[in-house]
Amino acid sequence: MLTALSIRNVVLIEALDLEFGPGLGVLTGETGAGKSILLDSLGLALGARADSGLVRNGESQASVTATFDAPAPDHRAFALLAENMIALEPGEPLIIRRTLKADGGSRAFVNDQPCSAALLRELGGTLVEIHGQHDDRGLLNPRGHRTLLDVYGRCDVAHVAAAYMAWRTAADALADARETVRSAARDRDYLTHAVEELARFAPGPGEEAALADERATMQKGARLTDDLAAVTECLTGSDGGLAQLRQAARRLDRIVVEYAPLADVLAALDRAVIEAGEAEERLSESAEALSFDPARLDAIETRLFDLRGLARKHQVQPDDLAALREEMADRLSAIEGGEEHLATLEAAVAAKADAYRQAAQELSTERQSAAQRLDAAVAAELAPLKLDAARFRTVVAPLDEGQWSAQGLDRVEYEISTNPGAPFAPLVKIASGGELSRFILALKVALAERGGADTLIFDEIDRGVGGAVASAIGDRLARLAQSSQILVVTHSPQVAARGAGHMLIAKSSDGTVTRTGVHALDAGERREEIARMLSGAEITAEARAQAERLLEV
């Protein structure tokens, strides 16, 4: 709810601070007093186009500040501000400020946090609806008609939205699966060859290291075997060192018999023969250990070469080839079982699409029923508002399949025919200014709208009517004001008399400077203003008496 409006240096307004309460508030004044300036000021705060002509003559800057009660926690304003990184604490009043320079530059703020004019305009639309002759928003915007009808008819849109999301999720899963199968199918031949090749080769984990170690051992044996053979040849054989030692020991043994001092030398030779014999045995053992099969070495080298070649081919490490084979085998199995999986997904999509269509058709039926009730409710409001020749209808028409959404299969639009036999057309295209405001009032009353803006402003909704029609307008505005804050700019005493609060807009001049001011009227002043509206410049006793009667209603 709008609680306060502060205006500085806007056209004829020098400084103005207004407070507003709940219910129906009326603003009256003579023609040219400045009522449009007041609405233009509020429009500026709500994000309207910044026209430098609004800046008061001789001033460098104008400003307007609008203060609103704290919105409810589920109000669209909270989500909108959060999306734009502007903090608003629950329970905190919402203060919108707009400044406009004489050169045309403007700035916007929400609770002293800068924002764009576009955000201000969107935020303002959630807080205030201004209905006037040139209004093209609110009820005149077909984009909101479907939501309004759903709220009026208490239509179960949530069920349809859930069914739609389930359908689209299943359809997305099917599309992903089809792309996976298509991509895998393109690789079928390659995968088949690769899996068969790897299966034949059968690489094992750690095989590369084992083969490399075995090959290194064999290559080492190949290098050492010749050297060992040469060493063995030096020791063994008829001319080898060991044979020479043994022959020397035998000869020395005969000499020792005759010459005992050589016994120690003989003992040394015996030890040398024993150790040389042990060395011969060790050489033999080592030669046997280092022996290898050239065919085995060739096989190892071939296997190792092929193993590393396969790894390079598939751009993996040799130890990962076994896992790669399993992965490729799984992909190949997915191709082979893909059609069956796709068939399952296609069946799921078809089932969820049917569920969505059924729910959406039920929603369409609900909307058709709600549209009939709304048409009857609006029709009942037209005659008292001097629109008895007009007809109203709610069009619920099917959308093309490509336009189906979480909101169902229908487009909804409100249309009117202002004269008998005239074709139906959108409200904004064929209604005159006064008719338009009265149609909007009839719709508002019939819809008893929930979830819209908390503050509604009607600009001269009573234009061109009087008497019983003006009384009917006042009655309906008062009914709306039971659930929303209503502000109305009016020339009708019947409407003004129904207000819970009354402000008088007046223009004054000291001969050099002209100013527009707004004054909240007390009970006596209010009676005088309504009497003026009834009688004109000269207020008569009859006018005062009639004003009293209107205020007593």
pLDDT recorded at residue 411: 94
**pLDDT band at residue 89, thresholds of 50, 70 and 90?**
confident
> Is it the case that residue 137 has pLDDT exceeding 80?
no
Task: Tell me the pLDDT tens digit for each residue of 518-547.
Answer: 989 999 999 999 999 888 778 888 888 988
Mean pLDDT of the chain: 84
> Is it the case that residue 126 has pLDDT exceeding 60?
yes
214 three-class SS:
helix
What percent of the chain clears pLDDT 70, i.e. is strictly above it? 91
pLDDT recorded at residue 418: 83
Counting beta carbons within 10 angstroms of the beta carbon of residue 189, is it exposed (0 to 12), middle (13 to 18) or buried (19 or more)? exposed
Task: Tell me the pLDDT tens digit for each residue of 333-354.
Answer: 777 666 677 888 999 999 999 9
CA angle 100, 105, 108 (to 5 degrees): 60
> Is it the case that residue 178 has pLDDT exceeding 70?
yes
Amino acid identity of residue 293, one-letter, is: D
Mean pLDDT of the 4-22 span: 92
Of the ranges 236-245, 316-325, 368-377, which is most confident? Answer: 368-377
In sign, the C-alpha dihedral spanning 306, 312, 314, 318 is positive
| CB-based contact 505:35 (threshold 8 Å) | yes
CA angle 108, 112, 118 (to 5 degrees): 25
d(CA 125, CA 106): 19
**pLDDT band at residue 134, thresholds of 50, 70 and 90?**
very low
**pLDDT band at residue 422, thresholds of 50, 70 and 90?**
confident
Residue 157: closest CA among 410, 450, 415: 410
> Is it the case that residue 431 has pLDDT exceeding 70?
no
Mean pLDDT of the 302-327 span: 89
- Please provide residue 458's backbone torsions phi and psi, each rounded to the nearest 5 degrees: -115, 125
Mean pLDDT of the 128-148 span: 72
Token output for 254? 């005969």
pLDDT recorded at residue 412: 94
| Beta-bridge partner residues of 457 | 130, 487
Count Cα neighbours of 84 within 13 Å in the Cβ-side half-sphere. Answer: 19
Amino acid identity of residue 280, one-letter, is: E
Max alpha carbon distance in the chain (Å)? 179
Task: Tell me the pLDDT tens digit for each residue of 19-47.
Answer: 999 999 999 988 777 788 888 899 899 98
* Domain range summary for the chain, segments of one domain joined by +: 190-332
Token output for 365? 């039926």
| Beta-bridge partner residues of 67 | 4, 95
Least confident range from 96-105, 322-331, 395-404: namely: 322-331
> Is it the case that residue 452 has pLDDT exceeding 80?
no
d(CA 128, CA 66): 11
pLDDT recorded at residue 136: 45
Residue 487: closest CA among 115, 245, 129, 218: 129
- Please provide residue 27's backbone torsions phi and psi, each rounded to the nearest 5 degrees: -125, 125
> Is it the case that residue 255 has pLDDT exceeding 70?
yes
d(CA 523, CA 272): 142
What percent of the chain clears pLDDT 90, i.e. is strictly above it? 29
pLDDT recorded at residue 349: 94
Q: Which residues contact 368 (CB under 8 A, 6 or more apart)?
A: 396
Task: Tell me the pLDDT tens digit for each residue of 491-523.
Answer: 889 999 999 999 999 888 877 788 888 989 999
> Is it the case that residue 14 has pLDDT exceeding 60?
yes
**pLDDT band at residue 449, thresholds of 50, 70 and 90?**
low
Count Cα neighbours of 368 within 13 Å in the Cβ-side half-sphere. Answer: 9
Mean pLDDT of the 316-332 span: 87
Residue 382: closest CA among 423, 429, 414: 414
> Is it the case that residue 68 has pLDDT exceeding 60?
yes
Helices 207-235 & 294-314 angle (0-180, nearest 10): 150
* Strand 410-417 versus strand 425-426 pairing type: antiparallel
> Is it the case that residue 161 has pLDDT exceeding 90?
yes
In sign, the C-alpha dihedral spanning 518, 520, 523, 524 is negative
Q: What is the H or E stretch that residue 367 is in?
A: helix 321-382
Token output for 147? 């939501």
| CB-based contact 129:138 (threshold 8 Å) | yes
| CB-based contact 459:128 (threshold 8 Å) | no
Mean pLDDT of the 197-212 span: 87
Least confident range from 384-393, 447-456, 471-480: namely: 447-456
pLDDT recorded at residue 393: 93
